[in-house]
Amino acid sequence: MVSRLRHFFYLAAGLVTVFILHTIVVKRSDFSASQQSTRPSTEATPGSAHIPGWPHAGQSGISSSNSSAVSTPEGRVRAALVALVRNSELEGMRSTIRQVDDRFNRNYGYPYIFLNDEDFTEEFMKQVRAVTNAPVYFGKLPKEHWGLSPYVTEDKVREALERNKDRYLYGGSYSYRLMCRFQSGFVYKHPLLQNLDYYWRIEPDVEYYCDIPYDPFKYMQDNNLMYGYTISPLEAAPTVETLWETTRHWMLENPQFIPDQGFMSWVVDEKAEYTYCHFWSNFEIVNLSFYRSEAYQSYFDHLDRAGGFFYERWGDAPVHSMAAAILLKKEQIHWFEDIGYHHPGYSHCPQDSGMRSR
């Protein structure tokens, strides 16, 4: 009986996957971006032991240092530029602010939000304020947003870090996994973002090659767009070994969330195998109603329970991309081809001569 049930499950899973793939109207090539350079599961039960210095979600002493939601200039979209940044990344963050202000924000004055799992130093806040006239907000992460998931055990996490430390970039990094989990399922829940409809993620030490003579937030709003990106590389396969299988299980359990016409062929090929394509989320402009939706939250919770953020190294980029491919339609996604952008590892430079001349 067990073998028959198992056979039925995989047969059903295959049929659902094929059905979804046959409803797709967009090809992966529609989402290819101009790129340069290269860049290097079973459900777990909550653990009881505690690694010294490793805060459990909901159990550490971390709290928000600013619970007041951000307001935006009158007449502007309710939006902000948001960065998760360390005190040690001050100069890289100042450089990014100068880039963003010079190319775009000096004409619009959208607020900046800086988040940290530790208190920002007075020096950091002073030096950041010194390089922009835009409103600036600083926030500390609530304790439930930063820490070990309650669905993984610390012994298994230790084993995973040791096993993967030489397999791929950040393979042995615990803090990197905390960051990926936070960006995947908590950044949009921070109190400072509660009044916002859109956010633009920024990071230290990035470059913007071209002037942006319009408001991308307004463009997103006017065109009913949900997700905007500029670079779309491949994810390192060993970091997401069970992401697609875990996602497929969620899809089978939640067909009510799947639109009739998505663009899953960008992340899943004709053989229903993961392509590893993803939007590089260090640059993303997002309608936050997408992340706040019941469907996205259900998907994130399913991934969190599976443990892959810690036992593997599921990044927020493949998670966001998989969710967009499943839950959004092609016309809700936008490639900001005209925004020239560099993050260490990859660059995008517009090919259109008019765009390149900005």
Q: Give catalytic residue positions.
A: 284
Is there a contact between 285 and 217 (Cβ–Cβ < 8 Å)?
A: yes
Question: What residue has token string 């960006």?
Answer: 183
Where is 199: in which H helix or E strand?
A: strand 198-201
In what side-by-side order are the strands of the sheet with 341-343? 207-208, 341-343, 346-348
Is there a contact between 294 and 158 (Cβ–Cβ < 8 Å)?
A: no
Is there a contact between 109 and 135 (Cβ–Cβ < 8 Å)?
A: yes
Q: How many CB atoms lie within 10 A of CB 10?
A: 10
Query: How far is 46 from 61, CA to CA, in rounded Å?
Result: 19
Is there a contact between 252 and 16 (Cβ–Cβ < 8 Å)?
A: yes
Query: Pairing state of beta strands 198-201 and 79-84?
Result: parallel
Contacts of 27-32 with C-beta under 8 Å, sequence gap 24+, read 27/265, 27/266, 28/265, 28/266, 28/269, 28/275, 28/277, 30/263, 30/266, 30/330, 31/232, 31/263, 31/266, 31/277, 31/333, 31/335, 32/232
Q: Three-class SS of residue 180?
A: helix
Is there a contact between 322 and 246 (Cβ–Cβ < 8 Å)?
A: no
Query: CB under 8 Å to 237, separation ≥6 — which residues?
Result: 276
130: amino acid identity, one letter: A
